[in-house]
A and B are shown apart, each in its own frame.
Chain A
Amino acid sequence: MDILLGSIASGILLGMVLSLVALGLTVIFGLMDIVNFAHGEFLMIGMYTGLLTAQATGLDPLLTLPLAAGIGFLLGVLCYGGFVKYLLRGPMIAQLLGTFGLMLVLRNIALLFFGSEDRALHHGLLVGKSFDVGMGIIISATKLAVAVLAVLSFVGVWLLMNRTKLGKALTATALNRQGARYMGIPTERMNALAWGIGGATVTIAGALIVNFWSVNPYVGLIFTMIAFTVVALGGFGSVPGAFFAGLVVGFIMEIPGFWDFFAITFNISWMDAVPMTSFKYTWIYVSYFVIMLISPRGLFGWKQ
């Protein structure tokens, strides 16, 4: 039973972070119908930012978030202004491969500077601490703090997009680009802003994730795929959709835990034999495929 509850708790906490990971992707997609393959690499950069500043300054890794956000914002705006702007004029195939090129460049720059080995945080206010909430569930303090901060960031972006004039201009551009331009909204600048927000949120997510996940230059791809799945499930372009879909994907990532629970509780021997942890990510790919077939516009899709 404790395995089951532990998996559920862990799934929810992870899910909240994954929502934040996918947020930027869905904002960008909603605005300009482009899929950013380098999304996971932005996250990787956030992870390194958190790790390296924490190690260099001795500050707690959770305090590095503003720096990560700043770097992410700059990176996003730079990528848009220097590169993506030109991609948007081309056919879809060029957009796909173009951001893939960006991914290769970012990944290998990281490889060049940081080497290929796994790095993890060993110190910090919360690293390694956990507490018992009863019924045998042990929640790691890091994961809880990270989840809370992720939700706060998410709400922050949501407020920015729904309660400020700037955010409303952004949403208007996403709904109707032509119309927004006629209303005097600088749509070019909105695009850049979307990339800035996208970059900032995903690097924050990276700086959070590094608290319980080791980082190497190749870590990006799996997060890109996770983000694609969250966005597909939540509906391409939908911000609230991304939040709920993130929770669902958090649960999907915990499938090995549920599997163990059933195998142990009901003593099913063949289930024990399957190396379920190796298929941790496989379920993500499978669920993307299935979601797209059943409901091509996602569960919360709002844009045709």
Chain B
Amino acid sequence: MEAIRNALDFSDFPRIDRMVALAVVLLLVTFPLFPHSAFAMATMIQFLMFSLYGMGWNTIGGYGGQVDLGKAQYVGIGAYTTTVCLLRWDIPFWVSMPLGACLSIGWSFIIGYPLFQLKGHYFAIATIATSLVLKDIFEVWKFVGAARGLGILPFKYQTPDFLRLIFKEDVYYYYTIFGLFIIGLLYMNWFRKSRLGFQLRSIKDNEEVARSLGINVHWAKIKTYAIATAFVSVVGSFHAVYVKNIEPEDTMSLDISILIALMAMLGGAGSLWGPIIGAGVLIPLKSYLKEWLGAAAGLVGIDLILYGLIIMIISAFEPRGLWGIVEKIRRRKRI
């Protein structure tokens, strides 16, 4: 009971935060009612997906301070589980999604145990390595379509198919991911106030002190890693039915892992709003830059150059992200 109350309780945020959050949620609910292009809709769905990815990363990376650059492997596990289940055994999304999450969590325990014996840079590089190993395996594994991946043929299904989550209109996908987004947000609101959340922040602060306060540091990290994994895997499953065509390169590459970390990092790692702000700024920027500069002006890759420059500027001059700027201003006002 207390957990639910905590999840719904945003009262420790200033009034203005709550008003803005409410306005954003209302805007998101009503967005499909306004006239919009298919491109805008796709961008909004991407925004919600990456907010969720970022929230997942924020547990271990933001609150726990463990720079995990291997989240893409769980996008892959989730996406492949859902696709394979659908194509081979016609298992609906709502069964394959939790199944994928369970597989991801299982895998995260197996590699998490040795992984968290490493610290700092060594840990970060090792997460990349594990993710790339899995990608290499998927690229030759015939059962999952090897390097060419798997495709869901939408015309084989009658739409709208709410069980398998196969739709013709994007608006259904939009509301599905919006529902997951709200659940994710409430979960994160609970998480940051939970015992594990506090323990993680203590670990980020100082591991020795955390140990002396009765926290099993290794186990707390592994547990949180599993939570982050579940988030990413669920969105990966959604990615599979939404995009309908998955291959190792666009689900498990390092770029995806970095993008996931970047959402939280740009918005403000270790804060509730961080990943949402990060995704809200980065995803539209990325989509529209690509559309205008890449496709329209024929300058391939210029969107990624700007993207890289933003990353460089943020990390050199405001490592606490956009939310860090807001908090700095607030702190200055209070003092």
Footprint of B on A, CB under 8 Å? 33, 35, 83, 86-87, 90-98, 100-105, 107-109, 111-112, 116, 217, 221, 225, 228, 232, 275, 278-279, 281-282, 285-286, 288-289, 292-293, 296
Footprint of A on B, CB under 8 Å? 61, 65, 67, 69, 114, 117-118, 120-122, 124-126, 128-130, 132-133, 136-137, 139-140, 254, 258, 261-262, 265, 269, 299-302, 304-305, 307-312, 314-317, 319
Question: With A102-B308, A111-B300 in contact, is A97–B315 under 8 Å at CB?
Answer: yes
Q: Are A102 and B312 in contact (CB under 8 A)?
A: yes
Q: Are A97 and B129 in contact (CB under 8 A)?
A: no
16 interchain pairs, CB-CB under 8 A: A35-B121, A87-B316, A96-B67, A96-B121, A97-B261, A98-B315, A100-B258, A101-B309, A101-B312, A109-B305, A112-B299, A112-B301, A112-B305, A221-B254, A282-B136, A292-B122
Cross-chain contact of A278 among B61, B114, B128, B140 (Cβ < 8 A) = B140
Specify the chain B residue showing the minimal Cβ separation from A87. B316
CA distance A293 to B61 in the complex (A): 21
Q: Which residues of A contact B117 (CB under 8 A)?
A: 293
Cross-chain contact of B308 among A103, A232, A288, A296 (Cβ < 8 A) = A103
Q: Which residues of A contact B309 (CB under 8 A)?
A: 101, 105
Q: Which residues of B contact A100 (CB under 8 A)?
A: 258, 311
Q: Which residues of B contact A288 (CB under 8 A)?
A: 125-126, 129
| B contact patch SS | helix
Question: With A92-B67, A93-B265, A104-B305 in contact, is A292–B315 under 8 Å at CB?
Answer: no
Q: Which residues of B contact A111 (CB under 8 A)?
A: 300-301, 304
What is the CB-to-nearest-CB distance from A115 to chain B, in angstroms, rounded to a whole number?
Answer: 8
Q: Which residues of A contact B299 (CB under 8 A)?
A: 112
Question: With A112-B300, A289-B126, A293-B117 in contact, is A94–B139 under 8 Å at CB?
Answer: no
Specify the chain A residue showing the minimal Cβ separation from B311. A101
What is the CB-to-nearest-CB distance from B295 to chain A, in angstroms, rounded to a whole number?
Answer: 14
Specify the chain B residue showing the minimal Cβ separation from A104. B308
Cross-chain contact of A232 among B122, B261, B301 (Cβ < 8 A) = B122
What is the CB-to-nearest-CB distance from A14 to chain B, in angstroms, rounded to a whole number?
Answer: 19
Q: Are A90 and B132 in contact (CB under 8 A)?
A: no
Q: Are A92 and B120 in contact (CB under 8 A)?
A: yes
Specify the chain B residue showing the minimal Cβ separation from A101. B311
CA distance A93 to B124 in the complex (A): 9
Specify the chain B residue showing the minimal Cβ separation from A115. B300
Q: Are A86 and B316 in contact (CB under 8 A)?
A: yes
Which of B117, B118, B129, B299 has most A Cβ within 10 Å?
Answer: B129
CA distance A302 to B121 in the complex (A): 17
Q: Are A292 and B118 in contact (CB under 8 A)?
A: yes
Q: Are B311 and A104 in contact (CB under 8 A)?
A: yes
Q: Which residues of B contact A104 (CB under 8 A)?
A: 304-305, 307-308, 311
Q: Which residues of A contact B121 (CB under 8 A)?
A: 33, 35, 92, 96
Which of B262, B269, B315, B317 has most A Cβ within 10 Å?
Answer: B315
Q: Are B129 and A289 in contact (CB under 8 A)?
A: yes
Which 7 A-B pairs have CB atoms at the shortest separation, nearest pair first? A101-B311, A104-B308, A98-B315, A94-B319, A105-B308, A108-B301, A285-B129
CA distance A296 to B310 in the complex (A): 33
CA distance A97 to B261 in the complex (A): 9
Cross-chain contact of A296 among B122, B139, B269, B307 (Cβ < 8 A) = B122
CA distance A98 to B265 in the complex (A): 11
Specify the chain B residue showing the minimal Cβ separation from A29. B121
Which of A90, A96, A278, A296 has most B Cβ within 10 Å?
Answer: A96
Cross-chain contact of B316 among A90, A107, A112, A282 (Cβ < 8 A) = A90
Question: With A108-B304, A112-B299 in contact, is A278–B139 under 8 Å at CB?
Answer: yes
Q: Which residues of A contact B133 (CB under 8 A)?
A: 282, 285-286, 289
Q: Which residues of A contact B114 (CB under 8 A)?
A: 289, 293
Q: Which residues of A contact B128 (CB under 8 A)?
A: 225, 285
CA distance A108 to B302 in the complex (A): 7
Question: With A112-B299, A112-B301 in contact, is A83–B122 under 8 Å at CB?
Answer: no
Q: Are A90 and B319 in contact (CB under 8 A)?
A: yes
Q: Which residues of B contact A93 (CB under 8 A)?
A: 61, 65, 67, 265, 269, 319
Supply 4 further A-B pairs (C-beta < 8 A) apart from A95-B315, A102-B308, A292-B122.
A92-B67, A109-B305, A281-B132, A289-B114
What is the CB-to-nearest-CB distance from B314 to chain A, in angstroms, rounded to a whole number?
Answer: 8
Which of B305, B307, B317 has most A Cβ within 10 Å?
Answer: B305
Question: With A96-B124, A105-B305, A278-B140 in contact, is A83–B316 under 8 Å at CB?
Answer: yes
